Structure 1
């Protein structure tokens, strides 16, 4: 019979592997990640050059209105219909290719039953 995963020897061996093999590997990885996060946290945050109280210049207003005009240019588009389609489109199922191999039929034996 096969040894069960609940057998005491299997459990002892797995515990030993976790302690001696996989434990140090996980601890080393956690240490590396911790060091990396601490280094990231120690770096100064970048300063932003944007001040909210200043009024935008004329150049930025012109480009903003041009962008808005191009984004809102939907007059030529069809209006969206608000009614849901009563007829749902049927999904065509993909049919596999039929075999191009044709076996010849046997004449006199085929007709006998």
Structure 2
């Protein structure tokens, strides 16, 4: 018979494996992760996109007045837009009706009554 997973020999074998096989693998993984984290921490931080956007805005302002006139036109177009209907659609969940089966079976009593009527008319 096979030993159950609760037997002392299985438990001892699992402890031995944890110490000799899985322990070193776990330590190696931890070392790799910590080395990667240290490398990321030492790397210089990239500039945020907000700082880049402000620099680009300053460059656009220096280009000329024609750009400002175009910006005003686009601003007016944006103001004229209606709010999107997507937000309204998200509020309500549409549940579609389940299709009804087109095949309808008659009740046993109706079939029996039809048979009796059929027999009565043929006998006459």
TM-score, L = length of structure 2: 0.48
Pair member with larger Rg: 2
C-alpha distance in 2 between matches for 1:19 and 1:9: 15
Runs of 5+ consecutive residues of structure 2 not aligned to the other structure: 62-67, 101-124
Aligned length: 84
Runs of 5+ consecutive residues of structure 1 not aligned to the other structure: 94-113
- Paired position in structure 1 for 2:97: 90
Structure 1 residue matching 2:2: 3-state secondary structure: coil
The match for 1:49 among 52, 58, 73 is: 52
Question: Compared with structure 1, are the counterparts of its residues 30 and 65 closer, same or farther at alpha carbon in structure 2 (3 Å cutoff)?
Answer: same
Q: CA deviation at 1:49?
A: 2.7
C-alpha distance in 2 between matches for 1:35 and 1:51: 35
- Paired position in structure 2 for 1:36: 36
C-alpha distance in 2 between matches for 1:44 and 1:60: 38
CA RMSD of aligned residues (A): 4.0
- Paired position in structure 2 for 1:5: 5
- Paired position in structure 1 for 2:78: 68
The ranges of structure 1 where at least 4 consecutive aligned residues each deviate by more than 4 angstroms after the TM superposition are: none
Q: CA deviation at 1:68?
A: 2.7
1:5-58: CA deviations, max 9, x gaps? Answer: 111100000000011001111110111011011101111112233449x77732
Structure 2 residue matching 1:41: 3-state secondary structure: helix
Q: CA deviation at 1:65?
A: 2.3
